[in-house]
Structures are given as C-alpha cells and as structure tokens.
Amino acid sequence: MSSKASAFAVIYCLIAATTGWLCPAEIKAQAFPSKPMRIVVPAGPGGSLDIMARVIGQRLSVKLGQPVIVENRAGASGILGSDIVAKAPPDGYTLGIATSTTHITAPILNPQMPYDPVKDFTHVALVGLSPYVLVVNPKVPANNVAELIALAKAKPKSLSYSSVGNASQAHLTGELFSTLAGVQLNHIPYKSSTHAVIDLNEGRIDMQFGILGTSLTLIREGKLRALATTTEKRTEELPDVPTMTEAGLPGFEAALVFAVVMPAGTPGAIVTQLNKDIAEIMAAADVKRTLNAQAIEARSSSPEAIRDRIAREIEFWQGLAKKGNIQPE
C-alpha cells in the first residue's frame, strides 16, 4: 500500500469512528472466514483426538458457514502434525489439536523440538481433560491409596509400575506419586501401552497410572482395581473412586490436556471469535456425551488461561524430571 493510500485509510477510519461506518480492517475481520478451514490432528483417524476434532470441526462449520476439514497428520508422537500447525500462515485458516504429549512432555522427550510449544502457537482454548487412574492388579494387597503407600514403604522398590517410556507423562505421574507419598517404586518402561496393560492384568506389573479410556473396561470387569483418579474432581465414569487429593495426597494433579491452537501471530479478532464459538460447542450436551464416551471431559477456557497452563505444566514436569534425574530413552 502506498503512503498516500495508507494516509487515506487512517483518515477514513478516524471518520468511521465518529459516524459508525466500518473501516477496511473491520470489514476484513467481519468477512472471516471467506474460504474453507482445516483442523490438523496429530494422530491417525478413528481415535479420540480424531473424534474430538471432527465434533469441533462439524459444529464450527455450521457456525462459520465454511467447511472445516479434518486433516490427520500422524508421526513422531504427534510432533509432525503440531509442527505443520506451527509453520502454517497465521491467517486463521489452520487450527490444530494440541495434547499433553505434543505441547507439555514433548520438550522433555525431545530436546531438539522443531517448535516451541508456547512461543510458536496462538493458544485458542482448552477443550478437554482426561485423568489418569491409579490402578493395581487385584493381587496387590491394597484397597486404597493409604494401604498402597504403606505397602510401598514397608518394601521399598518392591512395587513396580509401567509406562510407555522414560519421561512419558505416565512415568512422570508415577514419579510425582513417589515424591508426594515418600516411597520408592520400580519403574518399568514399555514401548507399547498394550503390552504394559497385558502385563499389569497378568500380574507381572503391580500398578500403573493408566489412561482412563483404556482402563475403564478392565476396571469394570474386575481385572484391575482403581484406587484414585488424578484430576481435581471425581470423574463421571468412576464416581465412587476418590481423587488423589481425597485419598490423602493434596496437590496431586495430572491430566491429559487437549486444546485448540493456531500459528503464532494469528489476528486477535479471529482468536476471540473462535474462542467464543468453541466455548459454546464444548458446552453443548451432545458434545459432552460424545467426549465422555472417549473418557474426556469437555472443558473451555480463555486463550490466556490455556497458554498459561501449558507454560506452567512444562515448567512443573521439567522440574520434576530434573529432580528425579529422568532422561528420555
């Protein structure tokens, strides 16, 4: 734009402020979106992330009057898909689903990250939380957290727990338990969550901080015993199972976090609009039911709140890993 045109635009907008007209920037903002949008899912089709993205995308499409295309980009534990979002033009037409893996534990697992989980994104909204659940093999003589702690203190390092690898969030959650409870446990890393659950079910492993969605069936069948969940309030799927705080470890909180993000530099007006639309979507009863079936509690937040939460959790888990001398494989 020439200097003469720029000066004209400024004068026009000053007049608009007193007349109620719309200046060109406001007209441009009101026109959003003018073409299809996409939501990048850092996982393959069919899983809980894919279902969440399609629920959000379908309803955003109705609200915005444009198609919202779900694009599955699996690879490198979600880093590939998230990197695509980070490097997309910040024009409002690319959204991504961020998770604890891609935006919180990733810096611990991969020091050579291709993106900064805070600086390289515009954080739009929290959309879901899923707790871990502390489960034990039924042969473990502990019916509650207090009894488990007493057992662990009586026999240091005799109790084993599994995770999907060193410095994974399940590993770090186990380390948090050890720290707050003052016990020593034997961590057994697995390359596959399926194998970890099989060994837990068959008694080769004593306990696990399992993902709620993959643990529910075994809990309901009596093949695993649930002792506590790890979010600040009880989960609807296990209403009789206390939280870790209720079980005697105040301040214990760990959850899988799900958020909508966009490239850094996305215009604030677009972020505000999408945050409002997404909050309305996540409050809908049918959306809550759909996500509950995936063991995810629908949530919403301001952009600032989810950005600050991600930054705070990165700092917390990195500090815990450093204190425990936990290194990725």
Residues 5, 289: Cα–Cα separation, whole Å: 53
Per-residue pLDDT tens digits for 151-206: 999 999 999 999 999 999 999 999 999 999 999 999 999 988 889 999 999 999 99
Same domain, 89 and 149: no
How confident is the model at residue 214, as a pLDDT? Answer: 86
> Is 242 within a domain?
no
Per-residue pLDDT tens digits for 15-71: 545 544 445 444 444 589 999 999 999 999 999 999 999 999 999 999 999 999 999
With CA atoms as reference, report the closest residue to 296 among 282, 279, 281.
Answer: 282
Per-residue pLDDT tens digits for 112-145: 899 999 999 999 999 999 999 999 999 999 999 9
How confident is the model at residue 22, as a pLDDT? Answer: 47
pLDDT band at 109 (very low <50, low <70, confident <90, very high): confident
Do residues 133 and 219 make contact, with C-beta atoms less than 8 angstroms apart?
yes
How confident is the model at residue 31, as a pLDDT? Answer: 85
> Is 243 within a domain?
no
Per-residue pLDDT tens digits for 241-298: 999 999 999 999 999 999 999 999 999 999 999 999 999 999 999 999 999 999 999 9
Distances (CA, A) of 137 to 187, 193, 224, 279: 15, 16, 5, 39
> Is 235 within a domain?
no
How confident is the model at residue 27, as a pLDDT? Answer: 43
Same domain, 195 and 211: yes
Q: What is the CATH number of the domain that holds 275?
A: 3.40.190.150
**DSSP secondary structure string for all residues of 134-198:** EEE-TTSS-SSHHHHHHHHHHSTT-SEEEESSTTSHHHHHHHHHHHHHT---EEEE-S-HHHHHH
In the predicted model, is pLDDT for residue 11 greater than 70?
no
Same domain, 225 and 263: no
Same domain, 56 and 165: no
pLDDT band at 328 (very low <50, low <70, confident <90, very high): confident
Same domain, 288 and 217: no
Same domain, 124 and 26: yes
Same domain, 41 and 109: yes
The strand pair at 94-99 and 255-263 is best described as: antiparallel
Considering the entire predicted model, what is its pTM? 0.87
Domain-ending residue, one of 229, 246, 273: 229
β-bridge mates for residue 41, sequence order = 72
With CA atoms as reference, report the closest residue to 85 among 44, 122, 34, 32.
Answer: 122
Same domain, 17 and 84: yes
> Is 272 within a domain?
yes
How confident is the model at residue 169, as a pLDDT? Answer: 92
How confident is the model at residue 192, as a pLDDT? Answer: 85
Residues 230, 252: Cα–Cα separation, whole Å: 7
Same domain, 117 and 12: yes
Mean pLDDT of 69-87: 96
> Is 240 within a domain?
no
> Is 203 within a domain?
yes
Same domain, 148 and 119: no
Mean pLDDT of 68-90: 97
Helices (H), the chain: 3-19, 24-30, 48-64, 79-86, 100, 106-109, 145-154, 169-181, 193-201, 212-220, 268-283, 285-292, 303-323
Domain-ending residue, one of 193, 210, 229: 229
Residues 311, 267: Cα–Cα separation, whole Å: 21
**Total domains in the fold of the chain:** 2
Same domain, 210 and 293: no
How confident is the model at residue 7, as a pLDDT? Answer: 46
How confident is the model at residue 14, as a pLDDT? Answer: 53
Same domain, 113 and 22: yes
Distances (CA, A) of 175 to 108, 142, 147, 236, 248: 14, 19, 18, 26, 17
Do residues 196 and 164 make contact, with C-beta atoms less than 8 angstroms apart?
yes
Could you list the residue range(s) of the whole structural domain that residue 87 is in?
Answer: 3-129+256-323
> Is 317 within a domain?
yes
> Is 67 within a domain?
yes
How confident is the model at residue 213, as a pLDDT? Answer: 86
Q: What is the CATH number of the domain that holds 188?
A: 3.40.190.10
In the predicted model, is pLDDT for residue 3 greater than 90?
no
